[in-house]
Amino acid sequence: MYWLSACVFCTPSLQVPKYYYTLAQALHLKKKICLSKLLLASLYTCLDEALESLFRESRPRNLAGPLWLLQLWLNSIFEKKLSLVSTFTPSCELEGARLNTLTPRKRSIDNFATYIDAILSFTNFNEDLAPFIRPTLVGPSWLRQINQVGNITLDSTEIWFGFLSWDVIISGMRQKYVRIYPYQPQLFARQFGLYQMKPLPLRRKESIYADIYVETGNYEEVLKFILRPDKELKLTPCHFSPSFLVSKFCLRWWYQYYVDKLLTFDDFLKKLINSPLSSSQGPK
C-alpha cells in the first residue's frame, strides 16, 4: 500500500490516506480489484484542485495525484503528430514505460502552443486518437489483443468489462461536502477501438461532477441521499462485448461533434487573453 500510495496515486504525504483502507483490505483478502476507477477518481480530484488553485492563488502550486496517467495518455495521442521520439530503451516491455520516455523534458510557451495547435488540428477522428489499437503495443496480452476480437480470451473480456463498465465514484468527503463523479467509459472507449455511445454526461442538465451537501459527515447518509428518488443518478445499463460495430448515426454524430468545435489558434489565444483568469495586462 505504501508503494501504491507514493508511486501510483502520488499522494502528498508519506502516510497512506485513510480512503485507501478499503483497497488495502481488498488486497489483503486477495479480492479482484479494478484500479482504473480509483485512478480516474484520483486524477479528477487532482485536476479539480489545480483549477481551484488558479482562482485562489496568484501562481500555480505543486500538485499531488496521478498526473503521470494524463501525461502518458497525451504522449500516446501526440506521438506521431508531434514526432515524439526517445533513444532510451526501457528495461521492461510495458507500453507505459515506453510512453514515459516520450515526455518532453523542456517546458516553454512554444511547447504549450505546439500542443494547442495539435489539439485544434484534430478535425476528424483518426488513428492518432485511438492509440491503443496499434499493432506495435507492448505489454500484457489483454491489451495487445484488443484489436483481434475473435482471439480475445474470456479472461481478457472480463478485464475489459471491469475497465469499461458504468459506475459512480465517490471521490471523497470534505467537511459536509461529497464529490461524486460518473465513471463514463464511453468518453474514451473508442480510443481502444471499441464502439461507444454519444459522449454526454449521465445527468445532462448538470456538470460531469457534482458537489452534494449532507447534514452529517458519514458515507451512509451520503448513500441514502443519493438513492432518494429525486436525486437518483439514472444510469443506462450497457452490456460490454469486444466489438467494432459503428452505426451510421454514430459516425455522423462524431463528424458534427468535431466540426462544431473547430477553433483556430488565434481564436484560442484571444479567448485565453480575455479569460478572467488572466491578469488585466494580459500575459507577459
- Which string of DSSP letters, residue by residue, matches 153-216? -HHHHHHHHHHHS-EEEEEEEETTEEEEEEE-GGGTGGGGT--------SSTTS-SSEEEE-SS
Length of the chain: 284
Amino acid of residue 88: F
pTM above 0.85?
Answer: no
Output the pLDDT for position 196.
47
**Mean pLDDT across the stretch 55-72?**
76
Distance (Å, whole) CA 87 – CA 102: 9
Residue environment code for 209-247, b if the CB has 16+ CB neighbours within 10 A, otherwise e:
bbeeebeeeeeeebeeebeeeeeeeeeeeeebebeeeee
Is 196 or 74 the better-scoring residue by pLDDT?
Answer: 74
Which residues, in sequence order, are bridge partners of residue 174? 177
**Mean pLDDT across the stretch 148-166?**
66
Output the pLDDT for position 279.
42
Q: CA neighbours within 13 Å on the CB side: how many for 151?
A: 8
Burial of 30 (0-12, 13-18, 19+ CB in 10 A): exposed
Strands in the chain per DSSP E? 167-174, 177-183, 210-213
Instruction: State yes or no: pLDDT of 82 exceeds 80.
Output: yes
Distance of CA 195 to the CA centre of its chain: 18
43-57, 179-193, 203-217: lowest mean pLDDT where?
A: 203-217
